[in-house]
Amino acid sequence: MIGQRINRARKASGLSLRDLGEAVGLSHAAIKKYEDGIATPPSSTLLKMAKALNVRTEYFFRPQTASLQGIEYRKKTSLPRKLLNAIEHEVIDQIERRIELENLFPKSPINSFSQINTLPSKIKTIQDIEGIAEGVRKSWSLGTDPLPDLVDLFETNGIRVFMVEVNANPKFDGLTASINGMPIVVVGRNWPGDRQRFTLAHELGHLMLLNKLPSSINEEEACHYFAGAFLLPKEPLLQKLGAHRTNLELKELSLLKEEYGLSMAGILYRAKNLEIISPALKESISAIFRNRRWNITEPGAPYPKEKTHIFEQLVFRALGEDYIGEAKAAELMKVSLSTFKNLRNLGSSNANPS
């Protein structure tokens, strides 16, 4: 078990056997023996490895409970293996801590995911996806209003959401997978909020369109369509823009982005898909975006990032129910005991939660 974890953390860090050996003062052959389970590293070596691999020592002793199935990267073909290893390592580490935490409760504190049986079993055209998105909103009692917090919405409906530090690499554009039958979605923690939201909605599309698409419809394009329809439904968009327009003001797109959390480019596509504007007008406005480099960074303040509250909330709930103590809570949150106590006391050294 320890050997497997050393191997996983080493690959996630992008280190060779020789690199890790040099970092802890051992030969690459010694590291290989540890990874193969032929030898067990002493505690002093584990401490050095934890520092070199940027993990806590508890990581090496945690039971291996997570195995990702059906991993799908939207841009997998262009991602280097080193980045894939790092992403999968971070995701599995988060999932293992999440499963360990959820298993502390006598009854699961999180709902199970289930497909919506009222949705059509098949679709014929890409425009039919409009009805799928409307059906999901109806089943989840969302109406047509803007969705303020997608992460909490997904978690409430049994889809675990995890965030990883991959903001510096534009080639990563989200992934879906499952663990023990539970669907998970992974996005970049430091992405702009509208990109996070579109990726979340796109991956929801993969779940909701499963086995519904004919071979004539590209799945990625279908999920793009679903994401736009889910984030900004047809009815309010028609109310905001009108049924038919010969021109659009750029400020209209900016205001809708601020309200619905869909990018200006995404709203432009929605207007074209719903035939509010012509393909020619859509292309004309897109050209303005390219000329002003808005296709890279849109104007105005970035849309607020999504936040994941559920893990931390469950840690403090487990603490309040006496399922765990402060030391275990700190371990689950990957912080020092003193840092955790400061969090628990809301930053006040005089507070006494007990």
User: For strand 175-179 and strand 182-188, is the pairing parallel, antiparallel, or unpaired?
Assistant: antiparallel
The chain-wide mean pLDDT, for the chain, equals: 88
Instruction: Report all structural domains of the chain as residue ranges with CATH numbers, in order of start.
Output: 1-61 (1.10.260.40), 310-344 (no CATH)
Q: What Å distances lie between residue 331 and 9, 18, 85, 197, CA to CA?
A: 17, 30, 23, 30
**Residue 287 binned pLDDT confidence (cut-offs 50, 70, 90):** very high
Tell me the C-alpha distance between 294 and 62, whole Å: 46
| Contact yes or no for 227/216 (Cβ under 8 A) | no
Percent of the chain scored above 70 by pLDDT? 91
**Residue 92 binned pLDDT confidence (cut-offs 50, 70, 90):** confident
Residue 75, pLDDT > 80, answer: no
Check residue 288 and give its pLDDT: 97
- Region 326-338: what's the mean pLDDT? 91
What sign does the dihedral 314-317-319-323 (CA atoms) show?
negative
User: For strand 175-179 and strand 160-164, is the pairing parallel, antiparallel, or unpaired?
Assistant: unpaired
Q: What are phi and psi of 142, to 5 degrees?
A: -100, -15
**Residue 104 binned pLDDT confidence (cut-offs 50, 70, 90):** confident
Q: What is the pLDDT of residues 196-255, one digit of tens each?
A: 999 999 999 999 999 999 999 999 999 999 999 999 999 999 999 999 999 999 999 999
Residue 301, both tokens: 């303040």
Which amino acid is it at 75?
Answer: K
Q: What is the pLDDT of residues 105-154, one digit of tens each?
A: 888 888 889 889 999 999 999 999 999 999 999 999 999 999 999 999 99
Q: What is the pLDDT of residues 148-178, one digit of tens each?
A: 999 999 999 999 999 887 655 566 777 778 8
Q: What is the pLDDT of residues 19-68, one digit of tens each?
A: 999 999 999 999 999 988 899 999 999 999 988 988 778 778 776 555 66
This prediction has a pTM of: 0.80
Check residue 353 and give its pLDDT: 47
Percent of the chain scored above 90 by pLDDT? 61
Check residue 103 and give its pLDDT: 83
